[in-house]
Amino acid sequence: MKSAFRWYGESDPIRLEHIRQIPGMRSIVSAVYDVPPGEVWPEESIQHIADACAAQGLVFDVVESIPVTEEIKLGLPERDRHIENYCENIRRCAKYGVKCITYNFMPVFDWTRTQLDRPSPDGSTSLVMYWEQLKGLDPLKDDIHLPGWDQSYSQQEVRELIRAYGELGEAGLWKNIEYFLKRVIPVAESCGAVMALHPDDPPYPIFGLPRVVTCEANLDRYLSIVDSPANSLCLCTGSLGCSAKNHIPAMVRKYSAKKRIAFMHLRNVKILEDGSFEESGHWTPAGSLDMNAIVKALVETGFEGWFRPDHGRMIWGETGKPGYGLYDRALGSAYLNGLIEANGGQIET
Ligand code: DNO
């Protein structure tokens, strides 16, 4: 398997020079961030990332993410133009060496948390979602600004989107997923790339928005819509793992054995009694997931894709993009390397 690290480009306070010093590090996960969703990425921008990585002995072969627009998810008239542009972005990325493209199908909001800097007794901070902090909030009435929510929407636009998704419902969302996959997967196949679907985070409806990438039955359904290795998963242990109903090691074993995991996001999460959750350090005893059982499942099924240490805590006084500091992710990476080695796995460099 291949060790990867997310890098937000030149504006990221974390430098490629530092990322390359993490033992076993090979791949950079990045994206073109200055083009609005639905538009085409300039080739020079993609090449620029690839060149910057190559200059540090790293490979830019994973994109996270090419965003799927609300127009595509809602099935609005502009979707065909957005899907055409999406396909063009796949072709362009593949031309510069990208082999894996991460995306999600979450309506309106990507991950949802209620606080991004919750202090732990040891002085570190991390992202949390406490039901207590969400209760009673109604996005159709209240002015809600949860941390991490896309600032480009006005409160009014958010309300309209929530209404539109309410009308669409899960059945409509599935139809739009099918429409998208049937057009995009053949393009990925033809240029030797795989699409890696990130699960919904958290994996249950928030504010009544339909969310379907949540559990094994729905992952099975998603993968069967286009039964091709190019229609694969970015299996995020922390996202699926904040629902106690998901048995993560078993899911990893199943989809990896079927060669339908392209990319692993590896992190731990601590589920609290009321279903709230806290992002914890990667170490198994720090959270609710058995990280060794997850890595063992990957090794035993011959996983050959990419893995990255997902979200770290903020430790040692580091400040920066929540979840994406250097120190704790580097500790996570080293820990994962240890688990892989102890389970007899290989890290490709
Ligand atoms: C959070 C990330 C997600 C992920 C997207 C993929 O830190 O794991 O934002 O990149 O959902 O499209």
Q: In the Cβ-directed half-sphere of 180, how many Cα atoms lie within 13 Å?
A: 30
Tens digit of pLDDT for each residue in 35-70?
999 999 999 999 999 999 999 999 999 999 999 999
Whether 87 is catalytic:
no
Strand-pair partners of 279: 269
Determine which residue's CA is closest to atom 12 belonging to ligand 1.
103
**209 backbone φψ class: left, alpha, beta (φ>0; ψ -120 to 50):** beta
Q: State in Å: Cα 111 to ligand 1 middle.
A: 7
Whether 80 is catalytic:
no
Whether 198 is catalytic:
yes
Which residues line ligand 1 at a C-beta cut-off of 6 Å? 64-65, 102-104, 110-111, 198, 236, 265, 311, 323
Please state, in angstroms and as integers, the Cα–Cα distance from residue 117 to each residue in 112, 203, 279, 301, 318, following that order: 14, 22, 10, 36, 12
In angstroms, rounded to a whole number, what is the distance separating the alpha carbons of residues 118 and 154? 26
pLDDT recorded at residue 325: 97
How many beta carbons lie within 10 A of that of residue 336, not counting itself? 26
Q: Which residue has the tokens 């207590």?
A: 132
Whether 324 is catalytic:
yes
Question: pTM here?
Answer: 0.96
Determine which residue's CA is closest to atom 6 belonging to ligand 1.
103
Q: State in Å: Cα 67 to ligand 1 middle.
A: 10
User: What order do you get walking across the sheet with 277-279 strand by strand?
Assistant: 115-119, 125-129, 277-279, 269-271
Whether 310 is catalytic:
yes
How many beta carbons lie within 10 A of that of residue 292, not counting itself? 16
pLDDT recorded at residue 284: 98
Q: Which stretches in the chain have pLDDT values below 70?
A: 148, 150
Strands (DSSP E) found in 237-330: 261-266, 269-271, 277-279, 306-309
pLDDT recorded at residue 143: 72
Tens digit of pLDDT for each residue in 223-270?
999 999 999 999 999 999 999 999 999 999 999 999 999 999 999 999
* First vs last C-alpha separation in the chain: 9
Catalytic residue among 53, 86, 265, 328: 265
